[in-house]
Amino acid sequence: MSPTYKYRDTSMHNNHLVRRRRLFALGFVGLLFALPSACNEQQLTETPQGVLVADNLYTDLAGFEAGLNGLYYNVRRERYGRNNDNNAIMNTTMTGGVDNAFGMYLAPDTENIIHFWGVFNTPLDDPSSSGSQLRTVWQFLYQTINASNTIILRAENPAVRWTDADHKRVVAEARLIRAWAYRHLTYMWGDVPLNLTESSGDLIRTDWERTPRAEVRKQMEQDLLFAEANLPATSSNPGKLVKAVAQHYLAELYLAMDQPDKAEVEAQAVISSGLYSLITKRYGVQAAQPGVPFLDQFIDGNVNRNQGNTEVLWAMELQQNVAGGGGNIMRRTWVTRYYTNKGMQISADNGGRGIGRLGITRAAINLYEPNDDRGLKFTIRKFYIFNLASTLPTGKKLGDTLFTSTGVEKLSDPLWPSTKKWDWVDPLNVLIDPQYGDQPYIRLAETYLLLAEAQLKLGKLAPAASAINAVRLRSGASAITAGQVTLSFILDERSRELVTEEQRRYTLLRTGSWLTRTKAMNTLAGPNIQPRDTLFPIPQSVIDANTTKPMPQNPGY
């Protein structure tokens, strides 16, 4: 049944619009992401008999599961387009402009930030400015927080009939995702408003304060500890959060809080659980084809635990033509425009339709030993095979080899080497922009490297070397000794293992390495960055919407 509306006084309507604009500017808006919206830009009175709103959704377990589905959908948006489109990926400012990733094809309001920095890293966030990227990410994260808060608070309604285990699990999932969002915010902006209540209707505030990052992280710790205590060890649903994810994030958080003893305990708990192991043998849907065990875990059909992946802690579940299924544009972002070279056309063998907005730096490509599976042709694209007869260069024939670039980074290079982690095509439409194959989001290999970082801080060099070697030896790299364990080596190893996966900017900021390593290894962006760029500017629209209390800007903007 459609809702019925009755208009109110025009002055009240105008006031409502102002409040909503402020709410959207700050990002504190409640969304049922994949569900029908009951909001209207006009001030309305409605009878929501056939519309899903919080009051009639969160009444039973099924309703809360629907709300959680919306939260998971929003998490997956990190790897999709900035405005749910197929252009610039949402996580550009989390992964690019670092030691191992640069902006290659520049979009005015995204890659320009991580390439030029300077005036492009701006708080101005009108649609035509580069700052609109930062505003979009800010809003995306606070929308996620508010939706999490809605679930957390409404789960305490005594009228809901469910088991204690289901109650605690639902809250644990929502609290982990809230911590996940604040993780992004604190790394990108430092001190940020800490909101633990549901923001909707007349509860809109214009007096937000920036909470010190240390205080926000204490709340993240509480959320993650609750999740650790109340999430199941395993789940039959491959996309659901489990205990190990909370422990993994706790390990990283404790490193950021300079508590390596606690970080070691949490990382070791995941590794010693007996539930996970590194992939060391070929398996899955392409096991009979040439390849390496390392890459098998990224292939659609191999990603989930029930498909043989013993390494994945958290996977992104994607599905085409299913409401709420979601897609992403990792392949579009990282695979180059190879098809613009003569004699080349888009194909599954070449990864599908890439657009190459981000590229791996030459310094990162050169980190691999000759026998390291992670740097071989099976994992990083070193050449193409001519496959289009109508445009073949003179003297070339179908099946000849076209090698990728071997020099330094340059903009708009359709022959730059690219990762094969995100290769995917729709067999019915190889030109499609988004991809719908499942993807690993957190892997056990990273947990090993968090453990090594904690043990380095604790002076336990031999155990740290052992943790690093577990990751290296499974890919054919040589073992290292305790004397070789340094922070620089761990950061190199994280790049070798996790390039294009991790939010690399966060790793470098956590270890105080972003400025020096980016200047040393990113030949395009390195000369442009300044100390102020370790934090992004608060979007100006957020500051302007906070009308009853000044919100300070980050230094240098």
Structural domain contains residue 70: yes
Asked if residue 84 and residue 214 are part of one domain, the reply reads yes
* pLDDT score at 322: 75
| pLDDT tens, position by position, 74-98 | 999 999 998 878 888 999 999 999 9
Tell me how far CA of residue 64 lies from CA of 58, 75, 156, 333, in angstroms. 6, 17, 12, 34
Domain boundary among 380, 408, 433: 433
Structural domain contains residue 320: no
Structural domain contains residue 280: no
Structural domain contains residue 108: yes
- Contact status, residue 263 vs residue 254, Cβ threshold 8 Å: yes
34-38, 217-221, 349-353: segment of lowest average pLDDT: 34-38
CA-CA distance, 70 to 328, in Å (whole number)? Answer: 16
Question: Could you tell me the residue range of the domain that residue 64 belongs to?
Answer: 5-231+538-545
Domain boundary among 389, 414, 433: 433
Asked if residue 371 and residue 227 are part of one domain, the reply reads no
* Non-local CB neighbours of 73 within 8 Å, separated by 6+ positions: 33, 34, 324, 326
Structural domain contains residue 209: yes
Structural domain contains residue 188: yes
Any idea what the CATH number is for the domain that residue 60 is in? Answer: 1.25.40.890
How much is the mean pLDDT over the chain?
A: 90
Residue type, 316: M
Q: Give this prediction's pTM.
A: 0.92
Domain boundary among 387, 403, 433: 433
pLDDT of residue 6 exceeding 80, the answer is: no
Asked if residue 115 and residue 225 are part of one domain, the reply reads yes
Q: Is 353 helix (H, G, I), strand (E, B) or coil?
A: coil
The structural domain count of the chain equals: 2
Place 528 in a pLDDT band, splitting at 50, 70 and 90.
very high
